[in-house]
A and B are shown apart, each in its own frame.
Chain A
Amino acid sequence: MGIADLFFYLFSALTIGSAVMVISARNPVHAVLFLILAFINAAGLFLLLGAEFLAMLLIIVYVGAVAVLFLFVVMMLDVDFAELRAGYMKYFPVGATIGFIVLAELMALFGAWKLEGGISVTPKAPIPDIATLTNTEAIGRVLYTDYIFYFEAVGIILLTAMVGAIVLTFRQNDKAKRQNIADQVARTPQTSIKIKKVETGKGI
């Protein structure tokens, strides 16, 4: 057993352990923090596979941005745990069914993959040699050529989601005071200060 195997078991045990804690932690903030731990360990698994680019991207996107927003929302929300627990038994069959379907699909996929003899037998695009090409470059070469339409479609879907979220939450507020930065910058002493000579005992 090499060092890589040792780290594989360490990372996967921590990933599974923290994933279990995500759904069993009582405090939602703790749940999000365990989710972050699971992401970081998954990034470790990517590193062991030699997929350094994906590992770093997983941390930047999910840990650095998505999970921060999760944490933000969870901290701000006033969650009533008793109410959440009340529907637990009612939703359990639905959740268990979905979980079982996903598990069955994963097992079927793994079985098919084993019978076919691994992904290297039937790749959709030629797999470049890791010694000649860094995996950032390898991903870039297929993503921006063969898969450019899918890539742009994903971009448009995300844009639509963003526009939708803004439309749903944006409220025009005419009472709010707004500052026009250009006006502020254009102010001069002549437009903002008026100097008057005040005679003694009279006032303005």
Chain B
Amino acid sequence: MVDYFWSTIWPWIIWTPILKTIQSLAFIVPLLILIAYIIYADRKIWAAVQLRRGPNVVGPWGLLQSFADMAKFLFKEPIIPSGSNKVLFLLAPLIAAFVTIAVWAVIPIGSGWPAAEGTSWVVANINVGILYVLAISSLEVYAIIIGGWASNSKYPFLSALRSAGQMISYEVSIGFVIVTVLLLVGSLNMTDIVLAQQTGLANWLGVPSLTILNWFWLPLFPMFIVFFISALAETNRPPFDLPEAESELVAGFMVEYSSSLYMLFMLGEYLAVTFMCAMITILFLGGWLPPADIAIFNWIPGIFWFMAKLWMVFFMFAMVKAFVPRYRYDQLMRLGWKVFLPLSLFMVVAVASVLHFFDLAP
């Protein structure tokens, strides 16, 4: 009995859950603080483009604004419409927040120790990392559909229908772009995707110290742009924020939501946006790898490079929000199905052919 305790119960029922809980908390708490500053940065950048000041009252330079907002949302009264389907109405924001946090489990944020063994800082280093990402992020659409339907109101419902169409359309092109990257990597593991960008075009061109050329953004350049635009559409960011187009649908699927339920939706939205920045960083910008093979750069921990790239991509997200006007729904559908889908499908065939006929496949 004692043996059974030490061989089965202790490692599998007690120790592993405790360890994984600590690991997850150590990941999720900094992640949520990062989200607070992503929201702050989004507002500041948008304000700067429009020659406004943005949040500047709470804390120095308004740095604590997001926390003040959070406290405000938490202490407001949640209003649940009497005509709504209460269970589903409460479920929708929970799905939005839960799914967008869960998907971060497979994101590697820094090189492992020792670095050579193909390890990384990641909560769950699973074989099918990319498929996990696609699977979990395909659940995000349910938060919007259920939220829109359960509100029992016209604007949220119209918004939910728009959103379902939009997210499904752009998942297709995102899938194909990821396939082109996977063709170059030969593995579905997120850590392997980053490590595959250690060698590549720079060595081939004869400038091995310029490791920035090794990353997949250069050999797969059109796909980098396609993925960026699809990521905007997938996360309902402007110029594709049709589900919550405030000039037509008031606030889209969130019209009936208030207080902490609304906050969960916003949290889910910004988590998804930041997640897409992290995906672009991993797939196209070499994850935690330094941009040049210089001693000082190699000493800096990988997490710094990862965050620097993530913030750079997010800056582009924020700038697009600030200066691109919103698309009309038919233009959005045309872009997804008639431009991106054929282009990414062609690139899958082209990349596969090049790898096959020049014998470069990993």
Contacts and interface: CB of A to CB of B under 8 A. Distances in A.
Interface residues of A, number: 24
A52 B127 contact: yes
B12 interface: yes
Given A60-B134, A60-B138, A181 B334 contact: yes
A52 B330 CA distance: 38
B269 interface: no
Contacts of B149: 29, 75
A40 to B, nearest CB: 8
Interface stretch (B74-82, B139-147, B221-229): B139-147
Interface residues of B, number: 28
A68 interface: yes
Interface string B104-143: 0000000000000000000000111001101110110110
B334 A56 contact: no
Contacts, number: 69
A53 interface: yes
Contacts of B161: 72, 75-76
A52 B126 contact: yes
Contact of A64 (B127, B171, B331): B171
B247 interface: no
Interface in A16-56: 29, 33, 36, 43, 52-53, 56
Contacts of A59: 135-136, 138-139
A43 B134 CA distance: 14
A114 B202 CA distance: 57
Contact of A56 (B128, B164, B168, B171): B128
Contacts of A43: 135
Interface in B1-41: 8, 12-13
A119 interface: no
A64 B171 CA distance: 10
A174 B128 CA distance: 48
Contact of B128 (A33, A36, A53): A53
A56 B142 contact: no
4 smallest CB-CB distances across A and B, nearest first, come from A64-B138, A56-B131, A59-B135, A3-B12
7 contacts: A29-B88, A33-B146, A43-B135, A64-B139, A64-B141, A68-B168, A136-B128
